[in-house]
Amino acid sequence: MHTKHYSRTIFTISIAAYLVLDHVGLTKAASEVSNYDFWPSNILGKRAMQLVRDHLSRRQERKKSRSSKQICYDMVGCFPIPRSSYSPLMKSPQSPDTVDTKFLVMTRQNRSDLILIKYGDRHVSMANSNFKPELPTKIIIHGFKGSGHDKVAKLLGNALLDLEDANVIFVDWEKGAAGPGYALAAANTQLIGRQLAILITDMVALNGDPARIHMIGFSLGAHVAGFAGKALKLLDIRVGRITGLDPASPLFRQMLSASLLSLSADDAAFVDVVHTDGARIWSEGFGLFNPIGDVDYFPNGGLDQPGCEQVRGSVIVSRFEGTMNSSVVCNHLRALQFFLESLKAVSDPDACQFTAFPCHTGWSMFQRGECFPTNCTDSNCVTMGFAASQSKLRGPLYLTTRDSSPFCGRQLKASVLLSPKTPKLRGYLQISLEDGDNTANFKLRTKHMDYISGGLLAEGLSVATYEKSVQKHLNIELSFQSLAYQTENEKYGLNSNIDVVVDKISIFDTEGNVWSNCTENSNLIHVDGTTIYAQTYSLSLFANC
């Protein structure tokens, strides 16, 4: 009875006070609240005074937010409210309660039963979990439409724990990543980044070493890591590494003043980025095309990945409406698949490594083989993926991959020297290499693009299945596809008897091996009923030409 009377009295006094505040207004109410004569002198009155002061403080914060074009949330701070007429696609982050971010801890002691920890609870939940501050910490952050419980996230966490004893933390912002549209999910990356930053300060307070923290973010998750790094930088905390797996492009391209800040090299001591679905123009792909990290890897040029159906037309709709299918996101997901595969190779010295190398003249020259290292060393080649932190190189790096798992393979460069007897012909050369049950295809390029002529060197790249042992012989088919029929005034057309004469064929790998066929004046043979000329050859390892 006494408790009910106490609560009812506070409630009655509080309601009366709220009515007074609404009547006199916020400004006058603020001064009245400070005047203790306004309140009864007993304990009930003081309790009611505190309730009203808390209520008034929240109202003042909301009013301040409206007047300064900001929206503010407890602990994480304020965010700008975009003007809809100025930037209709830009949004403000949702509230922490709506997003409902969860941080889940996995260790070698609890691989299946993840432990929930919270930020800002004075480290209580973290201290009561399996989190060990003396161990390295890996933080995995999913992207748009993702979840911390995704199968690939669990695969990644377990693979990391197979390599070393560590804390693995999944950032589960599923509700914030769901949208309903992409623009809202993109805006939420700012909020999630600050929440993560607070969690990391809790780790540091428990004597965790920020230099041993590695954030791994896919798509929008890469920018979450970036925002966390930016917030920590204001507190003079710098995490050791951020890996951005195809960081999302829409609304992060820095081409408009209203763009969100993307992940950058300043957000951690070392930032490595893998680009697999780059968008040179905003409608092309899901990922950023320009370098943004200390090291940026561009497998297959960072654009169209082998084995993926190229469906650019549907990308615009799927990005902003939130519709997804495997064809649309195939290129985008490759970054995650490459990184996961790289983890399995770290502990196996005989496994294939994603070897990457610089090409200062860009991807087009890389495709022609001009930057291909025929003998990799630590000074001209590095590894993409988990081992990237050991890289001595900086800037954009390139490599080629296979079209299916395992994606890592033996990278090859083919070179064909045309005899002076070959006239100028419109078309292109191609090599098909027997690769077990598969075929590795090279599209060869000359300096004249779609023309060949005598004395020119045609070169191209491909990837074969990786085997530690090196084959003594390679069987190939070299073909020429004539494009003469596309031009009316071309001399040569269908079934024409033209001469494509070859003097030397060589294939190089990155380990110093070279296979060659040195038969001079070898003619390609016309394939009846087509505009193709072809010939098969056997190439020998270290042939004496």
Q: Which residues are catalytic?
A: 219, 246, 332
Cβ within 8 Å of residue 37, ≥6 positions away:
none
State the number of CA atoms in the 13 A half-sphere of 155 facing the CB.
12
Diameter of the chain measured on Cα atoms: 111
Cβ 458 vs Cβ 446: under 8 Å: yes
Contact 275, 289 (CB under 8 A): yes
User: What residues contact residue 385 under an 8 Å CB cut-off, 6+ apart?
Assistant: 274, 338, 339, 341, 342, 343, 345, 354
| Rounded Cα–Cα distance for residues 465 and 453 (Å) | 32
Which helix (H) or strand (E) covers residue 43, if one does? helix 43-67
What does the DSSP 8-state code read for residue 390?
A: G
The phi and psi torsions of 531 (rounded to 5 degrees) equal: -110, 30
Percent helix / strand / coil, the chain, rounded to 5:
30, 25, 40
Name the pairing type of β-strands 395-399 and 295-299: parallel
Residue 140, classified by CB atoms within 10 Å of its CB into exposed (0-12), middle (13-18) or buried (19+), is: buried
Nearest partner of 271 among 298, 292, 299, 288, judged by Cα = 292
Task: Report yes or no: 220 and 189 within 8 Å, Cβ to Cβ.
Answer: yes
Question: Which SS3 state, helix, strand or coil, does residue 274 take?
Answer: strand
Pairing verdict, β 525-526 and 532-541:
antiparallel
Task: Decide: 416 and 409 in contact? Cβ < 8 Å.
Answer: no
